[in-house]
Amino acid sequence: MKGYDLVLFDFDGTLYDSETHFTTYIDMICEQLEPSHADQLRHMYERTREGQGILRVGEWYDPNAKNSKPFDENNSSAGKYYMGDYWWIIYMLGYTIGATEQQLTDSFFRTRDYMMTHTDEIHLVLGLKEWLQHAYDAQHPIVILATNSPQPDSVSILQQLGVYPHFSQVICNARKPTHAREILEQVSSRHHVPPNRMLCVGDHYFNDIDPALAFGADTLFINRHHVSHPRKSTYEVETSEELIAQLTQIYTSSTNP
């Protein structure tokens, strides 16, 4: 296996695999809705988690049809929204039943505030803290984090989980995928690592994987939700156990080039 001089991680859905915060997000939205609409949202979310809802991770949400559909090469995805994770799923479910953009955004930030004070509910991928510690002690590979999440809660959560010091650089409010290329160029230049010696790890294909491949970096896609649309990745895993096994092999190759 190829070794790397720099590994760039996403945060949410990548470093941890717990999902209780999604229920919290639903609760925060429901507090701002009429009871009938709140009940409707909870029911729609439950159906979605069962695979029977109107939206699915890895599909494109059509505002006109108010549902999501698989990628079709013969049908443009223009004007549609990629459902890359359950943050987006919940946002669009709320939008569908009439929640305002302000209500949905406020609920998101309140959820992030909740996560800062309930880090006991956030479970790092088993073995990841040790992997980060080994990389930090060896000073190789360089480990970077780039997340779309806000700075205050992201840094606080990382600190409370005990992994913040292990990252050479933490980039918040990254605005991926729009600014993904810019971030990759900055990271490559700042740390003097060419794209072919970089590995990008994430669970959102169009935020983390597609831009990195276009940049010339290798990628590790965490396909937790079994998305089926066309995709490319240097490595692909589906579970946290597979992720840490892959990272362990990568670490061994990176420290023994």
Contacts of 90 (CB under 8 A, 6+ apart): 22, 25, 26, 29, 45
Mean pLDDT, the chain, whole residue set: 94
On the question of pLDDT at 77 being above 90, the answer is no
Query: Which of 141, 167, 130 is CA-nearest to residue 255?
Result: 141
pLDDT at 256: 66
Residue 205: DSSP 8-state: I
pLDDT tens digits for 194-207? 999 999 999 999 99
What is the domain partition of the chain in residue ranges?
6-18+122-255, 20-120
**Statement: 6-18+122-255 belongs to CATH 3.40.50.1000:** yes
- For the full predicted model, state whether its pTM sits above 0.75: yes
